[in-house]
């Protein structure tokens, strides 16, 4: 942690020599004065941002493979088996989990999460977008964007982050598919042939995205034109 003069205020290491050799990839989220960390070697922990003290550290059942999102006193993260897990920020204990279909071929692409209006929206490695209640993990809706049942096809799938605007979720992938999904019921409003695996930006009624070939696309968020 650096101050405004770029002087180190504190630094902390929460990994053994053996864990360092595994070269963990970290994801971060901040809640007030607490930094939540999750990694791809099954560890999660909380750090006091004022002094760098480790508040708690947990070894979980599976490695994590997603962004971390915070809502109220909980944080949400998805593991390599496409299981969304809810943990307490205070203790690190798991409160609930929601299981989606697992893919035995593991992808290194981090899955995306959104939290809005007490609902957690998340994607998985098979191209499913799911909405669950943030308090108890109950299913609200689930939408599949891929028809193929072959796991090797899912391994090659690279999806963008989920972004939302008003009542819409925008989501794209490297298979020439840009989706507009109704946030309340999961129905696909429209699908456009745009090959993009990067995060889109929504400004007013326009969606801006860059294709994997380097083209800038501007799309009408209502019609998909």
Q: What is the pLDDT of residues 135-178, one digit of tens each?
A: 999 999 999 988 755 555 656 788 999 999 889 999 999 999 99
pLDDT of residue 126: 86
Judge if pTM exceeds 0.85: yes
CA–CA distance, 183 with 193 (Å, rounded to integer): 21
Q: Identify the burial level of 16 via C-beta atoms within 10 angstroms of its C-beta, where 0-12 means exposed, 13-18 middle and 19 or more buried.
A: exposed
Query: Is residue 222 very low, low, confident or very high in pLDDT (cuts 50, 70, 90)?
Result: very high
Average pLDDT, the chain: 91
Q: Residue 205: left (phi > 0), alpha (psi -120 to 50), or beta? A: alpha
How many whole angstroms separate alpha carbon 35 and alpha carbon 114?
A: 18
Cβ(47)–Cβ(89) under 8 Å?
no
pLDDT of residue 147: 73
Strand order in the sheet with 83-88: 69-71, 74-78, 83-88, 94-99
101-105, 146-150, 183-187: segment of lowest average pLDDT: 146-150
Q: Determine the pLDDT at residue 102.
A: 75
CA 16 to CA 29: how far, in whole Å?
Answer: 22
**Residue 8 above 90 pLDDT?**
yes
């Amino acid at each position: 942690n650096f101050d405004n003069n770029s002087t180190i205020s504190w630094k902390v290491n929460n990994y053994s020599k053996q864990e360092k050799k595994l070269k963990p990839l970290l994801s971060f989220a901040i809640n007030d004065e607490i930094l939540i960390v999750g990694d791809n070697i099954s560890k999660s922990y909380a750090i006091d941002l004022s002094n760098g003290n480790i508040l708690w550290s947990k070894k979980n059942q599976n490695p994590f493979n997603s962004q971390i999102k915070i809502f109220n006193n909980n944080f949400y993260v998805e593991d390599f088996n496409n299981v969304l897990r809810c943990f307490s920020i205070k203790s690190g204990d798991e409160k609930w989990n929601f299981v989606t279909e697992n893919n035995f071929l593991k992808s290194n692409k981090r899955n995306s999460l959104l939290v809005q209006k007490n609902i957690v929206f998340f994607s998985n490695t098979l191209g499913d977008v799911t909405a669950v209640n943030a308090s108890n993990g109950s299913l609200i809706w689930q939408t599949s964007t891929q028809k193929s049942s072959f796991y090797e096809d899912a391994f090659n799938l690279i999806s963008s982050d989920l972004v939302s605007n008003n009542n819409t979720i925008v989501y794209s992938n490297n298979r020439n598919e840009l989706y507009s999904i109704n946030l309340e019921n999961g129905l696909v409003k429209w699908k456009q042939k745009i090959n993009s695996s990067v995060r889109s930006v929504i400004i007013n009624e326009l969606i801006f995205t860059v294709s994997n070939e380097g083209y800038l696309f501007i799309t009408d968020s209502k019609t998909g034109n």
